[in-house]
Structures are given as structure tokens and as C-alpha cells.
Amino acid sequence: MRKCYIIGHPLKKPRTVNLWSKYFKNNNIKAKIEPKEVKIPQLKKFISILKKDQDFLASAVTMPLKKEIFRYIIPGDKIAKTTKAINFIIKKKNKIYGYNTDILALIKLIKKKYLKNIVIIGLGGVGNAVYNVLKKNQKINLRVISRTRKGKQIYQNFNYINLSKINLIINCTPIGSNLDKKYINKSPIEKKFLKQLKKDSFIFDIIYSPKVTKLLKISRILKLNFTNGIEMNSLQAKLSLKMIHKNI
């Protein structure tokens, strides 16, 4: 029986376990997946164990390990090299390769008409990865909200951005999620700023639990287009599982 995991901290009933388990069963793959709480100081040792474990097959990677794990794996493609953030690892010939199926899924879901004026909220694992990919596209006017990083196109709050010209806002923070009580009843952008958006603007909240965050509730009241992270999460899982299937 091959071993698979989802690693991160904290893990709150991740959808990945059910998605992968169902896929293994439907495709007669002799593998099982289990959640494994791994903190940043434990990561290096854990990866060393996986390299030696002949039964290890693959693992999903979630917060706060997506950027930290990059130093311990071999980038599997250009997206992984560009983003320097990993959400999926797979073992091939005793070497561990990393990919960012989050970004592959997100880019597929972003409609072309929104790829013009974009704001990314947060430069964590997903946010930093999205930023590194989109900033290379000269046709995109990209802005970022981040309290922990400074630089060109990066601002600490929305007062510096003319939101009337923005087509798409992507929330890449955990604000609004159920990962912690301090997040659940908050929105990463205040209502007064959302009011500045045109009605054809789109809000993409990558959070999938709860399905409707405070940000999306406000967006609904203001009659803005919006979606949560469920479709993205499902699509990235499918992309990861395809790679697993090819590797068996």
C-alpha cells in the first residue's frame, strides 16, 4: 500500500483527504492518504524521512509550508520554479519533485476578460506564487496588498489603489476562513473599498471553508460577481491526481 499525505499546520478536515481517497478507490489504486500535522521546524526532517520511505508516493502541501518546502524539493516545472511555492510533491526514482497545482488551477479559472487590472491580497504561499507568475505578463496592471513586504506594485492598504479601474480582486489570505477564530468574521477588504468597484468586477476568494466568507457576503450585497475556492481546490486536486496516476 503506497502512502500519501496532506501536510501543514493546522489541518482542519482538509477536502484533499476525501478527494484523493475517492479517486484511489474509483481507479483501483492501492494507496491511502492521511493528514499529517507538520510545523515549519519539523519540515526538513520530515522530508528526509519521506525520501527514505520506499512506500511514500505523494503529498499535498498546505499552509504554512508552501514556501518553506521549496528548498527541500526539485522544481517539477517552470511554474514551480517561478512561483517558488509548492502545494504538491511526488516521489520519482527516490527524488522528490514539487509542483504548484494551485496556480495551474487558478490561472485556468481566471477568465481572460479579467486579466487586465488585478489586485492580489496577501503574499503568502498562494499569493506570492500568483504574483510571481502574473507580474511577468506585461499586459496586466498588477497591484498587491501586503503588510509584510514592500516594493513596486506592493502596497500596505487599499487607500493607494484606484479600485474603479480594477477588474479582478483575488484574496490569497486566510482572512475569512475557519482556520482560526480570529479569521472567521473578518474580511480582507472593507465594504467602503468594495463599493468603489464597477459592477462587472470579479471577487475571487480562494477560501473554500466556509463556502461564503464575510468578503463574499459583502460582495453579494453589493451585487458584485464572486466565487469561492471550492472549484479551484477541486481542480488542483485533479491535476495532482493525474500526476500520481501517471507515476504508478
Q: The pTM is what?
A: 0.84
Please tell me whether residue 123 adopts helix, strand or coil conformation: coil
Task: Tell me, yes or no, whether 108 and 222 share the same domain.
Answer: yes
How far CA 140 is from CA of 85, 119, 134, 137, 172, in Å, comes to 21, 10, 7, 6, 18
Range of the domain at 120: 104-231
User: Per residue in 86-131, pLDDT tens?
Assistant: 999 999 988 999 999 999 998 888 876 677 899 999 998 889 889 9
Who contacts 221 (Cβ-Cβ below 8 Å, separation ≥6)?
none
**In this structure, is residue 32 part of a structural domain?**
yes
Same domain, 155 and 216: yes
Q: Are residues 109 and 94 in the same domain?
A: no
Q: Based on the domain organization, do 217 and 178 belong to the same domain?
A: yes
Q: How confident is the model over 130-182, as pLDDT tens digits?
A: 998 898 888 899 999 998 777 778 999 999 999 999 999 999 999 999 988 99
Instruction: Check residue 147 and give its pLDDT.
Output: 84
Residue with cell 485533479: 238
Q: What is the dihedral of CA 215, 221, 225, 229, to 10 degrees?
A: 30
Q: What is the CATH number of the domain that holds 159?
A: 3.40.50.720
Q: Are residues 89 and 6 in the same domain?
A: yes
Are the CB atoms for 31 and 217 separated by under 8 Å?
A: no
